[in-house]
Amino acid sequence: MKAPPPIALLLLNAALIATLAFVSLAPTADAQQNSRPRGRYGIVTGWVLSCDSEVAYIVDEANQEVVAVTWDERVKQLTGMGYRNIAQDFASFQQNR
């Protein structure tokens, strides 16, 4: 004669199936639907008069953005110096012509 299956295992399986259904059918997050293209990066270094160390200009060609960063030796991390959106700058330049 077979022993009946334990109730705890049946409840656990039901809970796992419900969790799987919830995760599978849940809507996606807004960040996953972003239409921002994948970046294409280039880096150029240079000096700034107000800074003792070199500055790295990181250019994202695909999204037309530039970020300037410098290495802070005291805290051993990159420090942001500035950000520019090249597309917006170009649009405002065209309007002022």
The ranges assigned to domains in the chain are 7-96
C-beta separation of 68 from 78 below 8 A: no
pLDDT of 79-96, one tens digit each?
999 999 998 998 888 887
CA distance 54 to 72: 10
The per-residue pLDDT for range 38-66, each reduced to its tens digit, is 889 999 999 888 777 889 999 999 999 99
Residues 6+ apart with CB under 8 A from 85: 64, 65
Taking the whole predicted model, whether its pTM rises above 0.75 is answered as: no
Residue 76, Ramachandran bin (φ over 0: left; ψ between -120 and 50: alpha; else beta):
left
* Distance (Å, whole) CA 41 – CA 66: 10
